[in-house]
Amino acid sequence: MKPSIPKGTRDFTPIEVARRQYIFSTIKDIFERFGFQPIETPVMENLSTLTGKYGEEGDKLLFKVLNNGDFLAKADPAALAAKDSNGLVRSIARRGLRYDLTVPFARFVVMHRNELNFPFKRYQIQPVWRADRPQKGRYQEFYQCDVDAIGSRSLIYEAEYVQIIDQVFTKLDLSVKILINNRKILTGIAEKAAVLEKMTDMTVAIDKLQKIGWDEVNAILERQGFSPESIDAINALFQVTSLDELENALAGSEVGEQGIQEVRQVFSYLDGYHLKQELKFDTTLARGLDYYTGCIFEVQSLETKMGSILGGGRYDDLTGVFGMPDTSGVGISFGVERIYDILMELDRFPDSNVANVDVLLIAFDASSHLAAFKMLSALRSQHIKADLYPEPTKMKKQMRYADNISVPFVILIGSEELESEAYTLKDMRSGQQWSLSLTSIIDKLQSAGEQ
């Protein structure tokens, strides 16, 4: 049997795990400095929790877990007779795989509301599953990295996210543009253009602006029955870029003015804070998801054409569906899989990030091998990642292994070395070698490790 893994899933080799951990730990460190705490939720959720939360398309993309045992005994006979797969699922699958981290987070908050202190600031880095057609850069099993602050309407969180985004991408050595807008401003524009009842159509079209340009956007609006006057008004309003001018343009729209006030407040929190990345107020940022109600965010790479690598915003009723209404929160989600691809493309993973041993011991005969094994403990107790080739076989074979694993140093041990207690340390990159006591070797390896 030739083994394989399901399409759209991946194995991660040590170097890939190390690179992924580098991204995760960079982000986690910054989250924790800002007071966010980790939670984890089960991979399997009840389908009653997941179904209906992601639209009809999302329901189709949920992975469902077959009930164990004689599942057909309780299968819906009508659906079975009609060979109705969709109709049958409910009676043979109670559980499904997590589709995102947002719905499980909302469920978690409601279930644990009495143990949690609000505002509750949590982060969560876990895999999710979607039965999308796999393609380059799109997987059926992939990680999401979410951070949310729930239980307060304070705009300090929006400002903190800008700082977090700024620090994370700076730490990862990437240049990005941080876009901020506010749903209330979009509502204000729709109000001013007298298209409030077609607000969703307008934002869906505007969402495409960056990709397709105004001509195409206007063509879409026209097809959806927007009048020429309202299209003109929409065009004029979205071409206002400064907050001051927009404030004039939206004067009289209460919700629009409130949106502008919120964005101003976020900027005032950031006043005096030295951002290293570009922050831009952009009225044409719309974000697809319906549940956003306040500030919205997006981050774009300035160095690749990777599209959006982060999205988020404020929502006012995420937990309502689980019986806890009127709980405002705000969150962002890092596109960690895309960030990985960008770091690979730009070759920005630090070299030191390779998970590897620091030194390999090579022994020439059985008694040297036994002595070498005992030297390992001395090295490891000094936090040096040391390893020994498992048999005192031909030197050539052992040196080839050392080459293959790209170990930076080897120590050569034979009977003479044992006698003299001076071992040969070889730098595998430069080819330099020294005859040293074990203590001197430890010193040398430790100072090499610190560089």
Residue list 377-406, contact with its own copies (CB under 8 A): 377, 380, 383-388, 390-391, 401, 404-405
Nearer to its own copies, 189 or 411 (CB): 411
413 makes contact with its own copies (CB under 8 A): no
135 makes contact with its own copies (CB under 8 A): no
Q: What is the side-by-side strand order in the sheet with 329-334?
A: 37-38, 120-129, 141-150, 329-334, 308-315, 292-301, 176-182, 278-281
Report the nearest approach of its own copies to the CB of residue 90 (Å).
12
In this chain, which of 9, 170, 175, 440 binds its own copies, going by CB under 8 A?
9
Q: Which of residues 315-344 bind its own copies (CB under 8 A)?
A: 321-323
206 to 188, 234, 238, 261, 283: CA distances (angstroms): 14, 10, 9, 22, 9
Question: Residue 342: CB partners within 8 Å, gap ≥ 6?
Answer: 174, 301, 303, 304, 306, 309, 348
114 makes contact with its own copies (CB under 8 A): no
E-assigned strand segments in 221-371: 278-281, 292-301, 308-315, 329-334, 359-363
Q: Say if CB 292 and CB 317 are below 8 A apart.
A: no
Q: Rounded distance, CA 339 to CA 307, Å? A: 11
Neighbours of 126 (CB within 10 A): 17
- Alpha carbon 12 to chain centroid, angstroms: 16
349 makes contact with its own copies (CB under 8 A): no
Q: Which of residues 234-293 bind its own copies (CB under 8 A)?
A: 268-269, 272-273
Q: Which of residues 159-188 bind its own copies (CB under 8 A)?
A: 159, 163
In this chain, which of 22, 54, 157, 161 binds its own copies, going by CB under 8 A?
157
Q: Which of residues 13-72 bind its own copies (CB under 8 A)?
A: 13-14, 17-18, 21, 32-35, 37-46, 48-49, 60-61, 63-66, 68-72
Nearer to its own copies, 63 or 349 (CB): 63
Q: Rounded distance, CA 254 to CA 324, Å? A: 27
Report the nearest approach of its own copies to the CB of residue 91 (Å).
12
Q: Say if CB 295 and CB 268 are below 8 A apart.
A: no
314 makes contact with its own copies (CB under 8 A): no
Nearer to its own copies, 235 or 261 (CB): 261
138 makes contact with its own copies (CB under 8 A): no
Nearer to its own copies, 8 or 199 (CB): 8
How many residues sit close enough to its own copies to count as binding (CB under 8 A)?
104
Q: Rounded distance, CA 125 to CA 123, Å? A: 7
